[in-house]
């Protein structure tokens, strides 16, 4: 008789991760739930709900009859996520700590804890996302020896695991997973990838998980100093002023999920795809131009509103999330370009001989 596969599922205390653990249990896997404490609520006078979330996660494990573990990554979160957030903010940039948290905490610290300490065959989260692997292929990754050194990259490209958008396009969370490593992705299951949020809530209601159904949606960092995180970041004015629109940006070195970088981009130095810089915003058609240092210029087909340094430009081709890079530089705004065109017109249409041979009257500034 084959021993059940061991899957360690990250539990947040919310409905998505609870249903993810339930579905894994139904598939016959040996499931362990782990709650990550990333923020020290005692320092914030109880405003963060980490302790209550932990209790809710523990209750989920009791209902599902699975082991429960709690780990603290408060120090790692401060060093790798929050310090970066503050540094970016001080520079006048608009950071996205949820992308950085997934990269450094959930798919690095938690991933290695699950595999090395708990002996997981795979990890799972409640993200709405999919990969190009079936469950059994994920479990097989544990037994595939990947070469070290020179030939490692070529091997990874031939056997690359793709990150794919969820069936529920509105809930799709690949945006937040765009910096996850290939090693972690190939050992990760996303049980909710093919489901809608409505159906996930229905499953929870039918399986005694009412306590997580009543909770509000998680919004990432819940507290910064004495202000809610959403109020902590300065928003662009809600206007359609041309100064807010740009069609050109340059990123940091791009983290490519499956190919480093895509073959078409290497071959042609340019590639058509789509990008977004905010979760749930409509995908924007664009052309990427590859630079020698691994950064890219992104030229949007149409100018987009409220681009800001520090955000991540996340790239898509069809339903595949290709990866992302942090926005470092912006091209001129539509307002500046319009002023430039106006000045150009003034210089070309300036004082000149009129049709009758006399001095013409050009437009004034």
- What residues act catalytically? 101, 222
Vertex 95: Cα angle to 52 and 20 (nearest 5): 40
Token pair listed for 35: 């709650």
94 contacts 308 by C-beta, under 8 angstroms: yes
Element holding 142 (H helix, E strand): none
Using DSSP's 3-state secondary structure scheme, residue 358 falls into: coil
**End-to-end alpha carbon distance in the chain:** 85
Alpha helices in the chain (DSSP H): 15-26, 50-64, 74-77, 83-90, 97-101, 110-112, 135-140, 152-158, 182-185, 197-205, 210-213, 229-232, 263-268, 334-348
DSSP string, 287-341: EEEE-TTS-EEEEEEEEEE---TTSEEEEEETTEEEEEEEEEEE--BHHHHHHHH
What the block records as the tokens of 312 is 């991540």
State how beta strands 284-290 and 296-305 pair.
antiparallel
CA dihedral 276, 282, 284, 285 (to 10 degrees): 130
What's the number of CA atoms in the CB half-sphere (13 Å) around residue 236? 16
Quote the CA–CA distance of 277 and 284 in Å, as a whole number: 9
Token pair 């041979």 is found at 357
Distance CA 280, CA 308 (A): 17
Q: What are the angstrom distances between the C-alpha of 30 and each of 105, 128, 193, 202, 208?
A: 23, 22, 20, 24, 20
Give 146-153 contacts, CB < 8 A, sequence gap 24+.
Answer: 153/260
């Amino acid at each position: 008789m084959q021993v059940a596969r061991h899957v360690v599922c990250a539990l947040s205390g919310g409905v998505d991760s609870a249903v993810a653990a339930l579905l894994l249990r139904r598939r016959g896997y040996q499931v362990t739930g782990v709650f990550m404490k990333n923020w020290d609520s005692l320092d914030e006078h109880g405003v963060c709900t980490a302790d209550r979330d932990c209790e809710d996660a523990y209750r989920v494990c009791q209902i599902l009859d699975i082991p429960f573990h709690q780990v603290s990554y408060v120090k790692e979160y401060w060093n790798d996520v929050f310090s970066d957030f503050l540094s970016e903010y001080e520079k006048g940039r608009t950071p996205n700590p949820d992308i950085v948290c997934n990269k450094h905490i959930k798919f690095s610290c938690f991933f290695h804890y699950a595999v090395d300490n708990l002996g997981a065959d795979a990890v799972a989260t409640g993200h709405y996302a999919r990969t190009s692997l079936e469950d059994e292929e994920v479990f097989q990754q544990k037994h595939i020896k990947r070469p070290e050194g020179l030939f490692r990259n070529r091997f990874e490209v031939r056997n690359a695991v793709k990150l794919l958008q969820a069936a529920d396009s509105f809930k799709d969370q690949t945006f937040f997973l765009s910096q996850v490593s290939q090693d972690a992705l190939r050992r990760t299951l996303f049980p909710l990838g093919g489901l809608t949020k409505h159906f996930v809530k229905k499953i929870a209601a039918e399986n005694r998980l009412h306590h997580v159904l009543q909770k509000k949606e998680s919004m990432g960092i819940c507290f910064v100093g004495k202000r809610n995180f959403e109020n902590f970041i300065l928003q662009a004015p809600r206007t359609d002023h041309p100064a807010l629109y740009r069609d050109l940006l340059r990123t940091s070195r791009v983290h490519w999920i499956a190919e480093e970088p895509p073959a078409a981009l290497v071959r042609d130095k340019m590639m058509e795809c789509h990008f977004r810089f905010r979760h749930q915003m409509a995908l924007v058609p664009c052309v990427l131009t590859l630079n020698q240092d691994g950064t890219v210029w992104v030229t949007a087909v149409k100018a987009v509103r409220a681009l800001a340094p520090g955000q991540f430009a996340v790239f898509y081709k069809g339903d595949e999330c290709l990866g992302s890079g942090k926005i470092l530089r912006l091209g001129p705004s539509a307002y500046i370009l319009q002023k430039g065109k106006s000045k150009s017109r003034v210089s070309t249409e300036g004082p000149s001989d009129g049709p009758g041979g006399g001095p013409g009257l050009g437009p004034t500034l």
